[in-house]
Amino acid sequence: MNMRIINAPQEGVLDMLKRRVAPHTRKWVEEHHISAIGMVQASVPDLFYYSDIAQKASDVFTVELFGTCPQTTTTLAVLGETSAVKAAMEAIEAGQSAGF
């Protein structure tokens, strides 16, 4: 699993994000202030598992990023306030370490 957090993403990063999501998600991104973006590269089953963990851990919005990953790998974006994204990413890491 590959994880990254971007704090205070610049407009260019948000533009990249908007190009890799569905239209309804693009609208959500445009309507909300995003203080941080957490990203997790994982398998498709893990994507759903980590999304569930993140949403249960804190007030974040999660979305799958479209891109050029192999068919068995995808990227989850965790969007929200910095502290919420940090808590969600820590919960994902703990869930991954637990091996569930």
pLDDT digits (tens, 9 = 90+) for 12-49: 999 999 999 999 999 999 999 999 999 999 888 999 99
Residue with tokens 């050029």: 68
* Architecture of domain 2-98 in this structure: 2-Layer Sandwich (3.30)
Buried b (16+ CB within 10 A) or exposed e, 14-25: beebeebbeeeb
pTM of the model as a whole = 0.91
Each domain of the chain, given as residue ranges in start order, spans 2-98
Closest CA to 96 of 80, 82, 76: 76
pLDDT in tens, 60-73: 999 999 876 667 78
